[in-house]
Structure 1
Amino acid sequence: MWWGSSRAKDGRVTEIITGLHMSPLEILVLLGAVALVAARWLPAAARPTVTVAAGSGLVLSVLVLSVVGLRWQMVPVLAGAAFVLPFAVVAVLRRRLGRPVGRARWWLALPGSAVCVGLITMGPVAAWACPVPVFPEPTGSFAVGTRVMQWTDPNRPETATATPDDRRTVVVQLWYPARKSPTGAQPAQYLGRTRQEARTVSDALAHYAGLPGFLVDGVPRAHTHSVFDAPVADGAARFPVVLFSPGLGGVRTQNTAWAEELAANGYVVAALDHPYDSAAVVLTDGRTINTEIASTGDDDEDDKRAADTTRIRAADLSFVLTQLDRLDRGEIVGPLTGRLDTGRAAATGHSLGGGAALQAARQDSRFAAVINMDGYPRDPDPRPFHQPALALTQAVGPQTDARYIPRLTEVLKLSTATSYRLTIPGAAHLTFTDAPLYLPPVPSIVGSLGRTESQHVVAATTLAFLNTTLRHAPGDLAGALSAYGGLSVYDSR
């Protein structure tokens, strides 16, 4: 059991015990509830003291939590405490008033105590299953800054609307090597620039997944390790850039832990929100664009729509690379001017975004490498491309699309450079995102690697590939990758 941190509404840091994913105040509520139940079974002389101390601590902790934010996981704990509290308080009052105190026989009290303990136990179990995510500390030598940009492509109409003058707009979040921030600098909110944006995005993601929003209410409470608009790292070094497209319905922040790890190791990560596709995109004018993607029930029609969406995303990636080049040359004002090496750029993505990255690399020779995280290639006209590619996949199981691996292998073999497919044992589709940090650890959903190991594997494998392909670092890339799973190498030479 170790300690991480979250941040309350008022900006103060609240410690989280990550083994239970509960704050000290929540632990006090839990202990107070347990003590109230246990008081019934203590010697008569000890019961009043324990009851008063436990009840007082419980009430005070709940009052504070009601101010900083009471999580739904504490409801069963409070229910168990509320059930036993009247009996405990009445017994204490009667004793103080000198009246006789009745005590039920143990075989009558035992079922009630068992029910209360069961309710109280549900609290830490729920907090463990659906926690406030605690992001792993980046291991690189740089601190991490982040910045959100919004860019409109004047040359592309927005096909999702009927307005003829509407042009394609994307929201991009950058994570970059930064100077160490002063002590007390507030880390960036997860999922958005503000708590309200984070809540909007969290609710939209839950709705898209068909989940009740309260199950993931801890997600918008989380803060990351980056700092908004932190000064860029000292020196004149120019950083390779990594563009990222999220999964279908996904959002730009869905791989924040991965992006922070890359930035701490000297890369600039640019992750995209794709309006009308991402679950929710909050624009700078305050408007929220929700996804318009929905299954039609017709597999052929859904495949066609997915191919159209992939094509639009591939164009978005190329457009953002153009904007990053303009930012580097000073045509767009920003602190990263002169620090972006767009000649060393990788297209990356998860799921549908991974397919878009492969398509963008084929269509845009400016990309020097491509990473596909468990994405089906949707390009209707796959042709040879020159970039080395890395495909990270889950293990093929009975529920895996039988077309997936053959199609992916076909595309990887079209690369004129050496390409790799790494099948990671214990991985599931969402292993390659931040989801293991906050979703219940169900293997079919987030894999069986564990919350932190999932992040480590994805970051380690992609960094090894990027260091080799963009920085030409010496070493045995195949050996480094094969340490994490089953590796297939495709070399056309």
Structure 2
Amino acid sequence: MVKPKQDQAFEHRTTDVLPEDNETKSEKWSFTSWIPKFPNLPSYTGSFTVGCCDLTWSYLKEKQVFEGAQEVNHTSPKENKHMLVRLYYPAVVTGAEKTAAWLPSPNSAYAQGYGDFKKLPRWLSIPAMVGMLSFTSVKTFVEAKLSPVGPFTNSDEGDRSSQRDRFPVVIFSHGLGGCRTTYSSICGEIASHGYVVCAVEHRDGTANASALPKGEKELISYRWPPVDIDAEYVFRREQLLFRVTEIQQIIQRLERLNRGLGVDDNNPPTDMEAQFQNRLDLSNVVMAGHSFGAATAIETLRVEKSFFKCGVLLDPWVFALEHTTDNWRGPLVPTLDQPVLVINSEGFTEWKESFDILLPFLNANPQRDHSPFITIKDSLHMNQSDFPLLFQYVYGLKNKFGGKIDPEYAIALNNLVF
């Protein structure tokens, strides 16, 4: 257990519920363990079947609320006029629906993006990732109908206007090199318990790739930062502000969806969009994210205080947040006013330089008594994504993507705490 300094009262706990036998099945080696198995993601545990749909939204004409919006438009290509999200939601299925592919289309672009982010040669990354991950599906059903029964609806009550028929909402922001499907195990699990989860695929150059569906040619690849650390801070700060403008646009879309309006200015809602009318509980919205996505959550909570009930921060990366000095080396400007749940991997908690900046920032939150901080023992940064699950049976890659903890157990703990 990592204890805060004596003058810092923020609650911090490390999970101590690891199995007695610390040698997990994925660590045991056999003669055939080098042979790749097709990856499989765990089933969701909630009472709802999970549906998903990818939605492309153009920017609304309304003026941006966030004052930094105009400063950061250049961080994405000039032709970027769209946002891309995947909605995970409670659903009913008929049996005709297909399960969603984990690797988005075009497969080669996203596979190349993951490989480039991990600095793997393309002759290896593209065929290997396409070959393995193209056969991996997520336990969600593409464009299934939204469940007619809400999370708090009695079986003999079906009034669509009832607040009990509305689903609370989670907006989830990915980390560097991720995309809208990288956290399917977490986003789908949340949806299975009665939430609508909006997984954003940021188009600021932080996704491994971002390609609009239906053949529209707006592929945005990962953008590498400058080598100089001070220049990188400016670069990442601009990307962070751009991400916040995307979240603000998404907030406007969710409000329009709930009112039964088309999410674009000049178009009526599609059949997929129309089913969300009066079904979103926008009085209970959570802002969540992993790593740079957790930083996005913190910055969004600062500028949209009235919209979000609370935040969930997975391994928050504090580098690009606002500091009290002119650079990234000083303490953070205290900005949080809402309760937050922090779930850290052990690797991130042991990163002293980051932890020593994060903890005073969290302690400055007036809601700190309602803001637990939990570390998952033996886990690393990537254990909060799907990657350790996907490569746990590939010899040599399990430890590259995750810690000593069994990857299925790690994601189960993250979901349990979330």
Q: Work out whether 1:159 is the aligned partner of 2:61.
A: no
Partner of 1:384: 335
Distance 2:300 2:406 in 1: 32
Q: Structure 1's 416 and 315: CA in aligned 2 closer, same or farther, altered over 3 A?
A: farther
Distance 2:207 2:359 in 1: 27
The one-letter code sitting in structure 2 at the alignment partner of 1:252 is: R
Q: 1:174 aligns with which of 81, 87, 101?
A: 87
Q: 1:226 aligns with which of 128, 133, 140?
A: 140
Partner of 2:409: 453
Structure 1 position 336, deviation (Å): 1.2
The one-letter code sitting in structure 2 at the alignment partner of 1:385 is: L
Partner of 2:310: 369
Structure 1 position 401, deviation (Å): 4.3
1:259-284 CA-to-partner distances (Å, cap 9, x unmatched) read 11111100011011111221111113
Partner of 2:192: 264
Partner of 2:330: none
Structure 1 position 425, deviation (Å): 0.5
The alignment partner of 2:74 has SS state of coil
Structure 1 position 456, deviation (Å): 0.5
Q: 1:127 aligns with which of 35, 39, 46?
A: 35
Structure 1 position 396, deviation (Å): 4.6
Q: Work out whether 1:395 is the aligned partner of 2:303.
A: no
Distance 2:365 2:81 in 1: 30
Distance 1:339 1:435 in 2: 32
8 Å CA contact 1:146, 1:173 repeated in 2: yes
Q: How is 1:16-95 mapped onto 2 (pairs within 5 angstroms)?
A: none
Structure 1 position 191, deviation (Å): 2.5
Q: Structure 1's 396 and 257: CA in aligned 2 closer, same or farther, altered over 3 A?
A: closer
Partner of 2:381: 429
- CA-based RMSD of the aligned residues comes to 2.3
Q: Structure 1's 279 and 396: CA in aligned 2 closer, same or farther, altered over 3 A?
A: closer
Structure 1 position 355, deviation (Å): 0.7
Partner of 1:308: 238
Structure 1 position 234, deviation (Å): 1.5
8 Å CA contact 1:426, 1:443 repeated in 2: no
Partner of 1:202: 111
The alignment partner of 2:287 has SS state of strand
Distance 1:204 1:186 in 2: 25
> Which stretches in structure 1 are left out of the alignment for 5+ residues?
1-18, 21-120, 463-493
The one-letter code sitting in structure 1 at the alignment partner of 2:180 is: R
8 Å CA contact 2:75, 2:238 repeated in 1: no
Structure 1 position 161, deviation (Å): 5.0
1:193-218 CA-to-partner distances (Å, cap 9, x unmatched) read xxx42343122211221123144331
The one-letter code sitting in structure 2 at the alignment partner of 1:200 is: A
Aligned pairs, number: 334
Distance 2:248 2:372 in 1: 23
The one-letter code sitting in structure 2 at the alignment partner of 1:261 is: E
Q: Return structure 1 stretches of 4+ with deviation > 4 angstroms.
A: none
8 Å CA contact 2:346, 2:380 repeated in 1: yes
The alignment partner of 2:137 has SS state of coil
1:118-176 CA-to-partner distances (Å, cap 9, x unmatched) read xxx87x32335xx422121111111111011112223466323574xx56521000000
The structure richer in helix per residue is 1
1:455-482 CA-to-partner distances (Å, cap 9, x unmatched) read 21111110xxxxxxxxxxxxxxxxxxxx
Which structure has the bigger radius of gyration?
1
Q: Work out whether 1:360 is the aligned partner of 2:300.
A: yes
8 Å CA contact 2:225, 2:236 repeated in 1: no
8 Å CA contact 1:345, 1:367 repeated in 2: yes
> Which stretches in structure 2 are left out of the alignment for 5+ residues?
1-24, 65-69, 150-159, 263-268, 324-332
Q: Structure 1's 167 and 125: CA in aligned 2 closer, same or farther, altered over 3 A?
A: closer
Q: 1:344 aligns with which of 273, 284, 292?
A: 284
The one-letter code sitting in structure 2 at the alignment partner of 1:189 is: A
Partner of 2:53: 147
Distance 1:140 1:274 in 2: 28
Distance 2:148 2:134 in 1: 32
Distance 1:172 1:327 in 2: 14
TM-score w.r.t. structure 2 length?
0.74
Structure 1 position 182, deviation (Å): 2.4
Q: Percent identity?
A: 22
Structure 1 position 339, deviation (Å): 0.7
8 Å CA contact 1:187, 1:226 repeated in 2: yes
Partner of 1:466: none
Q: Structure 1's 390 and 125: CA in aligned 2 closer, same or farther, altered over 3 A?
A: same
Partner of 2:100: 188
Distance 1:198 1:257 in 2: 19
Distance 2:172 2:111 in 1: 20
Q: Work out whether 1:245 is the aligned partner of 2:173.
A: yes
Q: Relative CO higher for 1 or 2, CA cutoff 8 Å, sep ≥ 6?
A: 2
Distance 1:283 1:255 in 2: 19
Structure 1 position 443, deviation (Å): 3.5
The alignment partner of 1:188 has SS state of strand
8 Å CA contact 1:152, 1:167 repeated in 2: no
Q: Work out whether 1:443 is the aligned partner of 2:399.
A: yes
Distance 1:459 1:415 in 2: 24
Partner of 2:152: none
